[in-house]
Amino acid sequence: MALIPGDHHLLKKVNRTRVLDVIRRFGPIAKMEVAAKTGLTFAAVANIVKDLESAGMIVSKGEGESTGGRKPVLFEMNEEACYVVAVDFSVEDIQMAIMDLATRECAKIHTSAPVDGEPDSYIEIIVTGVRQMMAEAGIDEQKILGMGVSSPGPVFPTTGQIFYPPNLPRWKEVPLKERLEAALGLPVKVEKDANLAAMGEKWFGAGRKAENLIYVLVGEGLGAGVIIDGSLYHGQEFGAGEIGHITVDRNGPKCNCGNDGCLEAMASGIAMVREVRAKLRQGEQSSFFHQGEVTFPHFMEALSKREPLARSVADEASRVLGIGVAGVINAFHPQKLLIGGKVPEVYPQMVEIAAQIAQKRVVSVFRDRLNICTGELKGRSSLVGAAASVMEGMFTLRIR
C-alpha cells in the first residue's frame, strides 16, 4: 500500500486500524505479538494500544506466559464498545437484530414479509422494527456504528440501490440506502444476500481461515458471494456472483430473468415449488401436498419431514446444483466452497449430493483439494454478514 510521503495522519489511522483488527482476530494477545503480526515497532504498538484502551475499544484480559521477565498483559476487543443494526430480508421473511462486535444479539425481530411485496411496505416494517429494537435494547445511539442490510440481488452497493430482483418484481431501482438513512439517521450499507452470507462466514464462521471462498446461497432464489484475497469481489460495478443465471440446460424451464434453463430456474427453492406443482398436475400422489396449495413455506415443511415427493424434487435439484457448483469451482478454484441458505439448512443432503456431483465434474487436478461443506452460521449467515459489513469500516482501511 503506497502512502503519500509525510501523510502522518493517514499513516497513523492505517496503523491504528491494523492493530485493532489484529486484536479483534487474535485476542487475547500481547503487544509483542501484535507488533510481530503488524510489522510495527513495539513502541508504536504500545502507544496505539494505550489510545485504544483509553477510548474503551479494547480491554486487558489477564497475563500471558513469561519468556523471561515480567508477564505480558493480554488485550482483546471490548465487544460492547459499539453496536450494529443488521437486517436480512427476502421474499418470505425479514430478520432484524442489534448486535455487539461479537454478533451477540441484544434485540431481535423475525417477521413475515409483506404480502404485497411493495418496497414501501418492506421499508415501513424495517424502520418500525429498528426503532422498536433500539428502544428495547436501551443502547446509547452514539454507540451504534451503522446499519447493514442484506437484500436479494442485484444490488449496487456503492449507492445502495436494489435493481429488479427476479423474485421481487416490484423492486425497480429502489434507493434503499437513501430511504433508510433518511428515516433512521444511521449510516446504511446495502449488499446482496449471498455476498453478505459469504462475508458472515468469512468473519465469524466456517471461512475464517480462508482467503478465497465462495458461498452458494440456496433459498427462494439462488446466488453466490465471492471472496478473493479476503475481500468481497463485485466484478464490474456489482454483477459478480450471479451464478443462478448460469445456463445448465438450454432446453430447461424459463427463468424469471428471461432466459431458459438457468441454475436458479432448476435448483432454487422457488424452482422446487414449481416442480412439485407440476408433478401434482401430472397426477403424482402425495399425502402432504394438495394441488394448487404448494407454497415455499409449505414445501419447506414437507422437506423437513422428508415427505417423498419433496425429497425427490430436492434430490434432483441438488444434482443440478452440483453441476453449477462444479463450473464455479473450475472457474475460481476457491479454498472452500460453502453451500447454505434455507433449503440446505432444512435438508443437509443437498450439500452431500451436490458435492458428489461436483467431485465428478471438476477438473481432475482440483479433486484432491476439493472442500465443499455447509456454513457454521446456518440461518444467520446473511444477517451476521450485514453486521460485518458495517464493522469492516472500523477494522479495515483500503487505500486505492
Per residue in 173-199, pLDDT (tens digit) is 999 999 999 999 999 999 999 999 999
Q: What is the pLDDT of residue 26?
A: 87
Prediction pTM value? 0.89
| CA separation for the pair 174, 160 (Å, rounded) | 8
- Calculate the CA 313 to chain-centre distance: 26
| CA separation for the pair 246, 323 (Å, rounded) | 10
Q: For residue 63, what pLDDT band results from cuts at 50, 70 and 90? A: confident
pLDDT at 3 over 60: no
- In CATH, the architecture of 8-77 is Orthogonal Bundle (1.10)
Q: What is the mean pLDDT of residues 227-235?
A: 91
pLDDT at 68 over 80: no
Between 166 and 347, residue with greater pLDDT: 347
Question: Mind giving me the DSSP string for 188-211?
Answer: EEEEEHHHHHHHHHHHHSTTTT-S
Domains 83-199+383-395 and 208-375 are alike in CATH topology: yes
Give the residue among 84, 4, 72 at the shortest CA–CA distance from 33: 72
Lowest mean pLDDT among 92-106, 159-173, 264-278, 321-335: 159-173
Share of the chain above pLDDT 90, in %: 72
User: 76 has which bridge partners?
Assistant: 59
The one-character DSSP state at 386 is: H
| CA separation for the pair 308, 57 (Å, rounded) | 53
- In CATH, the architecture of 208-375 is 2-Layer Sandwich (3.30)
Q: What is the pLDDT of residue 58?
A: 87
Residue ranges covered by each domain of the chain: 8-77, 83-199+383-395, 208-375
Q: For residue 399, what pLDDT band results from cuts at 50, 70 and 90? A: very low
In terms of CATH, what superfamily is 83-199+383-395?
ATPase, nucleotide binding domain (3.30.420.40)
Q: What is the pLDDT of residue 165?
A: 86
pLDDT at 6 over 90: no
Q: What is the pLDDT of residue 292?
A: 64
Give the residue among 81, 39, 33, 31 at the shortest CA–CA distance from 56: 81
| CA separation for the pair 169, 164 (Å, rounded) | 6
Q: What's the maximum distance between 2 C-alpha atoms anywhere in the chain?
A: 80
**Which three cell numbers, joined as nine digits, stand for 259?**
432466459
Q: For residue 2, what pLDDT band results from cuts at 50, 70 and 90? A: very low
Q: What is the pLDDT of residue 293?
A: 77
| Average pLDDT of the residues of the chain | 91
Lowest mean pLDDT among 23-37, 130-144, 286-300: 286-300
Q: For residue 123, what pLDDT band results from cuts at 50, 70 and 90? A: very high
| CA separation for the pair 86, 389 (Å, rounded) | 9
Q: What is the pLDDT of residue 65?
A: 80
| CA separation for the pair 108, 389 (Å, rounded) | 18
Q: What is the mean pLDDT of residues 107-129?
A: 97
Tens digit of each residue's pLDDT (9 = 90 or more) over 161-180: 998 887 898 999 999 999 99
| CA separation for the pair 192, 152 (Å, rounded) | 6
